[in-house]
Amino acid sequence: MVAMAWGQVEGVRSGVMFDAPKKAVRVVEGVAGAAHLGVAILEGVEDAWVSPSGKAAVVRGSGGWALVKGLGSDGVEERGLEVDLERAGWSGGGRYVAVSGSGVIEVWDVETAERVARVGLGEGREAASLAVNDEGELAVAWFDGEETTLEVWKRGNWEELGKVKGRGVAGVLGARVALAGEAEIALMEDGEEKWRVAVEGRGAPVGVALERGEVVAGYAGALVVFPMAGGDARVVDLEMEADRLERLGGGEGFLLRARAREGEEIWVAVRRGSEWKAYFVPAGE
């Protein structure tokens, strides 16, 4: 070894997110706890789901919904979507995105900007939650008003993995699929339910994600974190009311609350050491 060079010091950016009042995808300057929204990297956006990589998003601009990639770079590409998007779910690595709307669910490969799957929603079914893994495999949580059924799309067919009571959400990582409901959370792996744990009294979940060996379920007032292998949950109480649990684009952690208008608070949750903590992110002037 060892040859040394002069070190380089620079600033820190911890992600990007859609900011509705500014109609822009903006950079998160700094790190959670000392972060704030910074410059816009995509403007004229009415609505958006930003990929976990922060380099792609499905956005609604003046021309309708489109898949955009190359965010933050000079070479932004756009691919129009034919569906009137109602919901989207990104794979953990940001390779695939599942979108629903106009009566169908589509899975898009961001790298190739190609649609890899298109499935009809079916009459009277509400896709409460979409999830797709980095292999492009689609999992959908269907809510019928009383319970939520988790199905995966395999070889052209829906394959049911399990049910939970009430409204539920799904998250997927590789072969593992988590289904969180109003009263319980279940984890399926390779088509089999590995565990199921009761979570009473927290209402409908706002999202669930599999992250670093943990299943993180978001509720309005708390994050409930389970070891992916099963075991006791850790509850992280929130001093705000989360309305989502989405991977923070281009960074680590989750977006718990975005703002719809000026003056509202933006909240994220990040892991500090072994603990999840929630921080607000000021949006600037």
Partner 1 sequence: MRQKMKRTGGLLAWVVLAAGMAWGQGILITVREGEITRQIANGTTVEFAGKVGEGKDIFVELQYLGAFRAELGEASLTGSGDFRLMGVAPTPRVLQPREKVVFEVRFEPSSSKRSLAQLGLLVRELPPPDSNLLPGAYGLLSVGFTGTAPELKYAFVLAADGNVQPLTDGGLIRIAKAPVNQATFATVLVFNEGTAAGKLETVQIEGAAELSLNQVPLMPVTLGAGQGVQFRIRYEPKDVGEHTATLRLEGEGRVVRARVEGASQGPKWAYEVLPDLAGDVVDRLLPDGVVDLGEVELGKRKRVWVRVRNTGNEEGVVAGVAVSGLGFALVDPPLAQTPVRVGGELWFGVQATGVQAGRQTGRLRVGADTFLLTAFGFGPVLEYSYQAGGVVVLESGGQVAVPAAAIGQTTAAMFMIRNTGNRPATIGSIGVSGAGSPFQLANVPPLPLVIEPDGQAEFRIEFTPRLPGLNTAVLNVGAVFFNLTGTAAALPELPGYRWEGAGGVVAPFTQTSVGLTLQSAYPLPLRGTVVMTVDTANFGADAAVQFSTGGRSVSFVIPAGQTRAVFWNGSTTIRLQTGTAAGRIVLTPSFVAEGGIDRTPERPVVLELTVPEQAPVLLAARVEAGLTALNVTVTGYTTTRNLTKVEVTVRRKSGRTETFSFDVAQAAQLWFGSAASLSTGGLFSATVPFGVSGTAEERARLLADLEGVTVRASNERGTSAEISAPVV
Please give the C-alpha separations between residue 50 and each of 58, 90, 107, in angstroms, as whole numbers. Answer: 7, 8, 15
Nearest to 176 by CA among 158, 165, 164, 162: 162
Q: What is the spatial distance between Cα 269 and Cα 79, in angstroms, rounded to a whole number? A: 31
Which one of 112-120, 183-191, 203-211, 258-266 is the stretch in contact with partner 1 (CB under 8 A)? 258-266
- Residue with smaller CB distance to partner 1, 1 or 201: 1
| Nearest approach, Cβ of residue 245 and partner 1 (Å) | 19
**Binds partner 1 by CB under 8 A, chosen from 23, 30, 115, 158:** 30
| Nearest approach, Cβ of residue 93 and partner 1 (Å) | 17
Q: Is 2 exposed, middle or buried (0-12, 13-18, 19+ CB in 10 A)?
A: exposed
48 binds partner 1 (CB under 8 A): no
258 binds partner 1 (CB under 8 A): no
Which one of 99-107, 197-205, 206-214, 277-285 is the stretch in contact with partner 1 (CB under 8 A)? 277-285
Please give the C-alpha separations between residue 32 and each of 84, 239, 254, 259, 285, in angstroms, as whole numbers. Answer: 33, 16, 11, 16, 18
- Residue with smaller CB distance to partner 1, 137 or 211: 211
99 binds partner 1 (CB under 8 A): no
7 binds partner 1 (CB under 8 A): yes
Which one of 80-88, 131-139, 243-251, 276-284 is the stretch in contact with partner 1 (CB under 8 A)? 276-284
| Nearest approach, Cβ of residue 285 and partner 1 (Å) | 4
40 binds partner 1 (CB under 8 A): no
Alpha helices, H only, 76-119? none
11 binds partner 1 (CB under 8 A): yes
Q: What is the spatial distance between Cα 138 and Cα 256, in angstroms, rounded to a whole number? A: 23
| Nearest approach, Cβ of residue 267 and partner 1 (Å) | 9
237 binds partner 1 (CB under 8 A): no
Dihedral of CA atoms 223, 228, 233, 235 in degrees, nearest 10, equals -20
- Give the 3-state secondary structure of residue 254: strand
5 binds partner 1 (CB under 8 A): yes
Kindly determine how many residues on this chain lie close enough to bind partner 1 according to the rule CB under 8 A.
32
Q: What is the spatial distance between Cα 148 and Cα 19, in angstroms, rounded to a whole number? A: 30
* 62 Cβ neighbours under 8 A, 6+ residues apart: 44, 46
| Nearest approach, Cβ of residue 14 and partner 1 (Å) | 9
- Residue with smaller CB distance to partner 1, 31 or 235: 31
**CA 260, 280, 276, 212 torsion: positive or negative?**
positive
Q: What is the spatial distance between Cα 121 and Cα 112, in angstroms, rounded to a whole number? A: 24
Which one of 29-37, 152-160, 166-174, 209-217 is the stretch in contact with partner 1 (CB under 8 A)? 29-37
Rule CB under 8 A: which residues touch partner 1?
1-12, 29-31, 33-38, 259, 262-265, 279-280, 282-285
